[in-house]
């Protein structure tokens, strides 16, 4: 029996050694994999206190958590400064560790408090490489597809990546536009790449998010979209928005020739109406139909042909100039989603933008209606909206502007 007992004890000892060896092998493998991120551990302890009375396994697990999430954040594209001040500092104690997983999930919602605290700690980008890093980070967190499909399910999934509190006048949009302008600052024409295509198509997603925000915060069952937008604008300073930027690109009409050889207009949704534009800080663009509907190509709830053909897209430019043309107008021809192009082609009866002369011609066979030019019709629609806005402004009680940070 003594011999058997010694054998069992020896086997247990060997098992212990083997198990210890495996743990040490795993530890060394882990340390090797995360060696590049060890210098973030001191940054963590500069902003967080080490939990007291931790066991050795608990200390090891905390070290692992710091390294694992440091690696994730660096690979996402965050700077050390942002990780230290915008992530580590915001973690909440949880017994023997901190809220790494919960907080990491929270920063993936664009515009959330967690995301904003991290984003605001990023050093201002100075080069195209730095701008590209931050833009790729944003696209990664949005899970932006290489090509928008226009399908409602995809649109809803993408919209859920934004915070419900990210309003159209939020400073985030200015910061994003600055990055875009920096990234393309040396380009005379934006080259075709998959990243550039994504960046352009992001404009449609942002307009959809901003439209949805206005509907959710100012709309209602008894109100149409023009009411909701007017109510929102009534909370802003008048300098924050414009009603009079050209909406020529958002009043496309197709045409056919009749048996007598005369041109006949073909309207989107077979409905003759004019669309007009409202801008907030130039970047945030809202297009509304004469009947009061928001027009965005990614409307998850009320998508129409007019929405796809004449819908809004966020402006990366700051004003109506050559930079706006480079960033927001020229890319339409080669970066637009295929689902938009397909509707525009309209089975060889393409929807066309009126030129300046056609827009002003009150007798034009395609773009005029009832003896009024397209420009006059748009002006009349804006006049009606302005009356609606003035109505809500007169009812607006004295209160701080909604998220007015400019």
pLDDT interval class at 403 (50, 70, 90): very low
| DSSP-assigned states of every residue in 114-156 | HHHHHHTTSPPP-SHHHHHHHHHHHHHHHT--SS----HHHHH
Instruction: Record the pTM.
Output: 0.89
Q: Which of 334, 243, 336, 251 is nearest to 297 (CA)?
A: 336
Distance of alpha carbon 353 from alpha carbon 359, whole angstroms: 9
Give residue-wise pLDDT tens across range 172-225: 999 999 999 999 999 999 999 999 999 999 999 999 999 999 999 999 877 899
Query: 15 by DSSP, 3-state: which?
Result: helix
pLDDT interval class at 43 (50, 70, 90): very high
Residue 380, pLDDT above cutoff 50: yes
Give residue-wise pLDDT tens across range 248-259: 999 999 999 887
Q: Which tops the pLDDT comparison, 220 or 111?
A: 111
287, containing H or E segment: strand 284-289
Rounded mean pLDDT, 67-86: 97
Rounded mean pLDDT, 23-39: 71
């Amino acid at each position: 029996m003594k011999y058997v007992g010694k054998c069992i004890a020896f086997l247990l000892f060997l098992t212990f050694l083997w198990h210890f060896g495996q743990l040490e092998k795993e530890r060394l493998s882990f340390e090797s994999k995360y060696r590049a991120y060890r210098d973030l551990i001191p940054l963590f302890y500069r902003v967080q206190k080490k939990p007291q009375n931790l066991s050795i396994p608990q200390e090891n697990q905390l070290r692992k958590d710091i390294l694992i999430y440091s690696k994730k954040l660096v690979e996402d594209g965050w700077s050390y400064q942002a990780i230290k001040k915008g992530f580590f500092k915001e973690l909440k104690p949880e017994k023997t560790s901190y809220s790494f997983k919960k907080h990491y999930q929270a920063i993936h919602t664009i515009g959330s408090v967690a995301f904003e605290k991290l984003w605001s700690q990023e050093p201002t980008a100075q080069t195209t490489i730095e701008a590209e890093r931050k833009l790729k980070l944003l696209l990664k967190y949005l899970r932006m597809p290489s090509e928008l499909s226009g399908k409602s399910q995809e649109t809803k999934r993408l919209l859920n990546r934004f915070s419900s509190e990210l309003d159209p006048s939020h400073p985030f949009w200015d910061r994003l536009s600055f990055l875009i302008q920096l990234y393309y600052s040396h380009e005379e024409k934006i080259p075709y790449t998959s990243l550039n295509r994504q960046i352009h198509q992001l404009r449609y997603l942002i307009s959809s998010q901003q439209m949805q925000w206005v509907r959710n915060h100012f709309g209602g069952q008894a109100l149409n979209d023009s009411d909701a937008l007017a109510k929102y604008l009534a909370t802003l300073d008048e300098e924050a928005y414009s009603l009079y930027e050209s909406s020529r690109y958002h009043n496309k009409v197709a045409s056919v020739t009749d048996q007598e050889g005369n041109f006949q207009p073909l309207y989107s949704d077979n409905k003759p109406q004019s669309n007009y534009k409202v801008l907030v800080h130039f970047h945030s663009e809202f297009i509304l139909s004469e009947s009061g509907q928001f027009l965005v190509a990614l409307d998850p709830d009320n998508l129409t042909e007019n929405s796809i053909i004449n819908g809004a897209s966020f402006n990366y430019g700051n004003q109506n100039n050559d930079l706006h043309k480079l960033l927001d107008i020229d890319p339409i021809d080669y970066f637009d989603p295929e689902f938009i192009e397909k509707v525009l082609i309209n089975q060889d009866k393409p929807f066309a933008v009126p030129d300046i002369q056609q827009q002003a011609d009150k007798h034009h066979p395609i773009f005029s209606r009832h003896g009024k030019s397209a420009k006059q019709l748009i002006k009349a629609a804006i006049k009606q909206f302005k009356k609606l806005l003035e109505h809500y402004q007169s009812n607006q009680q004295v209160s701080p502007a909604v998220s007015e940070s400019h």
